Amino acid sequence: MDRVDESTLKTIIEPFRIKSVEPLRHTTIEERERFLEKAGYNLFQIDAKNILIDLLTDSGTSAMSTEQWAAMMRGDESYAGSESFYRMKRVVQDLMGFKHVIPTHQGRAAERILFTVLCRKGHVVPNNTHFDTTRANIEFTGARAIDLPAPAARDTQARLDFKGNMDVVALEHLIAAEGAANIPLVMLTVTDNSGGGQPVSMENIAAVKRASSRHGIPFYLDACRFAENAWFIRQKEPGYEDWTPKQIAQKMFSYADGCTFSAKKDAFANIGGLLCTNDDRLAMQETNLLILTEGFPTYGGLAGRDLEAIAVGLEEVLDPDYLRYRITSTGYLGRHIADRGVPIVEPPGGHAIYIDAGRMLAHIPKEQFPAQALAVELYRHAGIRSVEIGAVMFGVNAQHELLRLAIPRRVYTQSHIDYVVEAILEVNQRRERIRGLAIESEPPFLRHFSARFRQL
Ligand SMILES: Cc1ncc(COP(=O)(O)O)c(C=O)c1O
């Protein structure tokens, strides 16, 4: 199974070659200064054509393979009963094992439908760390979203293996305090995106499942990066070194009663999502809502060709050569900046490197958004776009002031990453000169997308 293990060569290469290229456009510092001012110092508001290296997100930004493009050509665009849906469903069921597979246009649509059906005011939903759309969709129903990261996650510098784990003791306390009847589901995000892209161990998945089912509470995975999580388990959790990534993923899913999934991550698709469950009654309620806003159950807001891309992507992502390259190349960025003094969330996660901006820019108080200030400076200096994961995104719930550098899948080569390393090290050299920001205007939900800032 592990083709490269037999080789004596140590260099881990991109396990693909490039057939089609997209030019990048350089801009000057003066131009970028103007773009920043116009965008209110919010990088979501900057036009993509003015970005050199875009590490805003790994979501929907993957390069698709020749096999995915070929499959898209046979997309069945029938309104009802599309062959593409059944192909996708077979792949999903083989991997995840859920009885009901509901396609949605992206992950948050799955979340919206799930929480609309399950949650109401007075309810509480625990997670290791809720992603921003997950939290917002729960809170929109009137329920509360509670983060229960394992204590190890608090120290960003601790080099421990499974810092994405949930604190199961805290989960038990929460269930005792709130009452099982007020907890419509327990979620676990693999890998833990908002908690530094850190993996969750199989042992922890099993423990969370046990605690949930002891109280009759359904257990869901937010499975966006299930394949990356599976690779970490294979590398770091005793007993799994000889398992294939697919076998590990199947075991992870076997504990869950359902999942939400954004196909824009570990399915290499540019759009798409899934809501899965084993519960017939729930599936019926969800499907009714799906028809209202997303579409008929055999396309759910997607084109037939998108379903084909997801079906192929879900198989490709489990290739050991790909996962080895993926996790190694993210670690390459992390080690090259951390070993030269830039504090990152240790150890490097799967899809992104998170700079601990609170620590790096210790002279900027939290109220002046150090991670946002660092994002602005990195763009100004080198045209690199990153994203703040701190008080702008999560308000008072922010555990840390992080700057996330998310790596799109199969998109950038090592020289792109070397450029990013050089730029970050230069910014770090003159970090004392970076100033904080103040918010000028903000919307009521998900303010990080459109808030405007001014420099202090
Ligand atoms: C952990 C997690 N959950 C949910 C989502 C939402 O998925 P989508 O962007 O497809 O709506 C994301 C997206 O980044 C995510 O990282």
- pLDDT at res. 32: 98
Residues 401-413 have a mean pLDDT of 97
Q: Ligand 1 center to residue 292 CA distance, Å?
A: 22
Give start and end residues of each alpha helix (H) in 299-413. Answer: 304-316, 320-338, 357-360, 370-382, 391-394
Cβ–Cβ < 8 Å for 198, 238: no
- pLDDT at res. 195: 83
Answer whether 356 contacts ligand 1 (Cβ < 6 A). no
206-213 LR contacts (CB < 8 Å, sep 24+)? 206/255, 207/168, 208/166, 208/168, 208/171, 208/255, 209/255, 209/256, 211/168, 211/171, 211/172, 211/175, 211/186, 212/171, 212/186
Residues 258-262 have a mean pLDDT of 98
pLDDT greater than 60 at residue 5: no
Residues 37-65 have a mean pLDDT of 97
DSSP SS3 for 428: helix
Q: What percent of the chain has pLDDT over 70?
A: 98
pLDDT greater than 80 at residue 3: no
- As a whole number of angstroms, the distance between CA 24 and CA 376 comes to 20
Q: Which atom of ligand 1 is nearest to the CA of 192?
A: 1
Give the Cβ contact number of residue 187 at 10 Å. 28
The string of pLDDT tens digits covering residues 439-452 is: 999 888 888 999 99
The string of pLDDT tens digits covering residues 145-203 is: 999 999 988 888 999 999 999 999 999 999 999 999 999 999 999 999 988 899 999 99
Q: How confident is the model at residue 374 (pLDDT cuts 50, 70, 90)?
A: very high
Whole-model pTM: value is 0.94
- Identify the bridge partners of residue 261 per DSSP, sorted by sequence position: 274
Cβ–Cβ < 8 Å for 173, 153: no
What is the chain's mean pLDDT, rounded? Answer: 96
Among protein residues, the one whose CA lies closest to atom 16 of ligand 1? 193
Q: How confident is the model at residue 2 (pLDDT cuts 50, 70, 90)?
A: low
Q: Ligand 1 center to residue 172 CA distance, Å?
A: 26
Q: Ligand 1 center to residue 107 CA distance, Å?
A: 5
- pLDDT at res. 88: 98
Q: Which atom of ligand 1 is nearest to the CA of 272?
A: 10
Answer whether 195 contacts ligand 1 (Cβ < 6 A). no
Q: Which atom of ligand 1 is nearest to the CA of 108?
A: 11
Cβ–Cβ < 8 Å for 380, 359: no
Residues 387-394 have a mean pLDDT of 92
Answer whether 137 contacts ligand 1 (Cβ < 6 A). no
Cβ–Cβ < 8 Å for 149, 399: yes
pLDDT greater than 70 at residue 82: yes
Q: How confident is the model at residue 7 (pLDDT cuts 50, 70, 90)?
A: low
The string of pLDDT tens digits covering residues 276-335 is: 999 999 999 999 999 999 999 999 999 999 999 999 999 999 999 999 999 999 999 999
- Identify the bridge partners of residue 384 per DSSP, sorted by sequence position: 53
Q: What type of residue sits at position 39?
A: A
- pLDDT at res. 1: 47
Answer whether 326 contacts ligand 1 (Cβ < 6 A). no
Q: What type of residue sits at position 229?
A: N
